[in-house]
Structure 1
Amino acid sequence: MFLERGPSATTAEVAARAGVSEGSIFKRWKTKEALFFACMAPIPIADMGWIAKLPSRVGTRTIRENLEEIALEIVALFRLIMPSILMAQSVGEHHRRLGDFDTSPPIVSRKKLAAYLDAERKLGRLRAIDVDVMSRTILGSLFSFVHLEVSLAGQDPAPIAAETFVRGLVEILVSGAVPEGAPTKPKRR
């Protein structure tokens, strides 16, 4: 209900949607504000299944296959949590809520993905790159993709499927954008 109507949704509407009495809501949450922020809370790290799978992916399949699968799982998670992130940001509480964690989920995500990339690098499956930059690039690109998808809600005149975006992103990261042997200096016009 809060995702549809924001903070203006009433507790009666929330209770009706949940199929419970309004009184039962106030037994658990003392105020409407407490209920709202409980609904908008960041997802616990334990619920980020893609992170738990990272160690078992090291050295398996191809880097491209692993990164595409990881990225699609992250897109699915971002699609799930993006509405609540946007809602919490709209009332200025998102950063405060991230402070409820010892280490905020975005930082844990970045570090765990960087650790996976570093393990692949140590196996010689990635060249000597800054794995933190690559981790930030992946997560930032996927966050931006989902943010625009949710924010534009069908208004994008040329939307692309998540699978297409992920394949393109991974291709750029794995192969690079500049062909080998390309001139390093611009051509004169």
Structure 2
Amino acid sequence: MSRIGILAVQGAFLEHEQVLSRLGVPYFELRQKRDLEESMDGLILPGGESTVMGKLLRELELMEPLRSRILAGLPVFGTCAGLILLAKQLAGGETTHLASMDICAVRNAYGRQLGSFAAEQEFGDFGRIPMTFIRAPYISAVSGKTEVLAQVDGRIVAAREDRQLVTAFHPELTEDLTVHRYFLDQLVASR
């Protein structure tokens, strides 16, 4: 059985832990450099504050080891801030973080907390799923081998490139398990 690391330095990591528990998937919290010694078949980068998370990844000396593993094929799933961490480009020329995925992200694209909303849209070939957006980004452009998996109002809100998956929404905040199953079945299990 696969074991998933969840970045737990800031943000909504507990909700991802609850989803993995529901799915019966072992996980551990990645909080410091020595946690990288744990066996990890996949990585989840939760929502939160991307600027704070990026700063902590650098201070804790996790940025480069994680980037190297992701570029070497470690399956990774980033939600909201996790999407921003993985983006090779950020609109407005902001500083990138892990910069491993061929996407351009627009931060806080729907406004502040009051801009939060819910939608239901198609996700890949899996039908309509509920999507919760909280101060969400969106993807303004994809390139290379990146595949668009979902759009809301013409904006890209989910994409995949090889073993990297990102969503602008928070699937961990709904009862629907489609996106987490997709990550585990299509990216982690195929490794």
* Alignment TM-score, normalising by the size of structure 2: 0.28
Greater share of helix = 1
Relative contact order higher in (CA < 8 Å, ≥ 6 apart): 1
* Alignment TM-score, normalising by the size of structure 1: 0.29
Rg larger in structure: 1
